[in-house]
Copies of this chain bind each other. A is one copy, B any other.
């Protein structure tokens, strides 16, 4: 059985079909580029509703058994941006270092990086990571934190993920 990875795109307009879900597609393309381990994809587009996001995160973690769930969108300061709140509400443990590193990374490009409220956390054996909603920022941010993700899954009892070392090196500290 292949490991399962969830990509959850959170956008009122994409879920209503007004926009194409480009950040979610960018995310999937990166996973396919970086991971040499095969995986099954659980892909969904939903609106910016905190209860809907929380329910979907729980489903992907608990029912679908995703080892990793990556969200895109809903991390800004606007009234409809509630992805971090939904994430925090379903996690057993928070990992503030993900948000810190993503903001530091984005600050090299845009002064408004500090408006991003992205976080990450663990629910059971699932790592949940918030990414931004702009496709260009998705790559910058995901690239910054991805090297730590395979080892995190090792630690929380997830499957062993291997990467295509030419394009993405996972970091596993020596015992």
Which residues does A use to contact B, with CB under 8 Å?
76-79, 81, 85, 93-101, 103-104, 107, 110-117, 122, 127, 134, 145, 147-148, 151-152, 155-157, 171-173
A171 contacts which of B101, B104, B111 (Cβ < 8 Å)? Answer: B111
A97 contacts which of B115, B152, B157 (Cβ < 8 Å)? Answer: B115
Closest to A110 in B: B173
- A117 adjacent to B103 (CB under 8 Å): no
A93 to B104, CA, bound (A): 20
- A112 adjacent to B171 (CB under 8 Å): yes
- B97 adjacent to A103 (CB under 8 Å): yes
- B110 adjacent to A95 (CB under 8 Å): no
